[in-house]
Amino acid sequence: MFNTPDHHLGGVTFNGGVIIGSDSRASIGGYYVSSKTINKLIQVHDRIFCCIAGSLADAQAVTKAAKFQISFHSIQMESPPLVKAAASVLRELCYNNKEELQAGFITAGWDRKKGPQVYTVALGGMLLSQPFTIGGSGSTYIYGYADAKYKPDMSKEECLQFATNALALAMGRDNVSGGVAHLVVITEEGVEHVVIPGDKLPKFHDE
């Protein structure tokens, strides 16, 4: 089974938007690297993305079904979907299939009702709203950094630096995280994709 198990991914809000990011390494069983170029950031609607973790097959199946349901919901409502509605679709799919699935998600996006938002959809279907969240085995190494450096109402530049540093720290310490850093900046104006090669990521004193 191809997994993206417990690597590093996260989402964080800033003043006017949200950033979601991940590494690009996939592994088999958490030990053998099967790909260095997986994009774990899936666009489920215009301004809504999710990070995938766990079984790659399960995550792809869930996001494919979610994209269809979210698109259909948007057509019915004749308006873009709310971020919470998209996260709730993922939650329902995970909960209804909790005995078979091995996949979790971080959903982030922007809507006109609540602005930037981040939601965690855990294994089993738990849904949790947070100003920022990190996940995966790489996150074990950076909880202290994230708690110390996160602050509400960061600027876009501050938030991008925060997310980039967090990814760099996790990828530098976790043997099954690596490759390039994928980041997506989501605001009212639109979506911006940022890709940072591994050799261009920030370096820290012990690397």
- CATH code of residue 159: 3.60.20.10
Q: Which two tokens stand for residue 205?
A: 């004193």
Which pLDDT score is estimated for 8?
57
Q: What is the mean pLDDT of the chain?
A: 91
Q: Which two tokens stand for residue 22?
A: 């991940």
Q: Which of the four pLDDT bands, split at 50, 70 and 90, describes residue 2?
A: very low
Listed residue (22, 29, 28) closest to 7, CA to CA: 22
Is the pTM higher than 0.85? The answer reads yes
> pLDDT tens, 44-82?
999 999 999 888 889 999 999 999 999 999 999 999 999
Half-sphere exposure of 39 (CA within 13 A, CB side): 11
Domain range enclosing 169 = 2-200
Residue 205 lies in a domain: no
Residue 40 lies in a domain: yes
Residue 207 lies in a domain: no
Residue 92 lies in a domain: yes
Number of domains forming the structure of the chain: 1
Q: Which of the four pLDDT bands, split at 50, 70 and 90, describes residue 1?
A: very low
Residue 206 lies in a domain: no
Residue 24 lies in a domain: yes
Measured CA distances, 55 to 71, 105, 172 (Å): 24, 11, 23
Measured CA distances, 206 to 57, 62, 172 (Å): 36, 39, 10
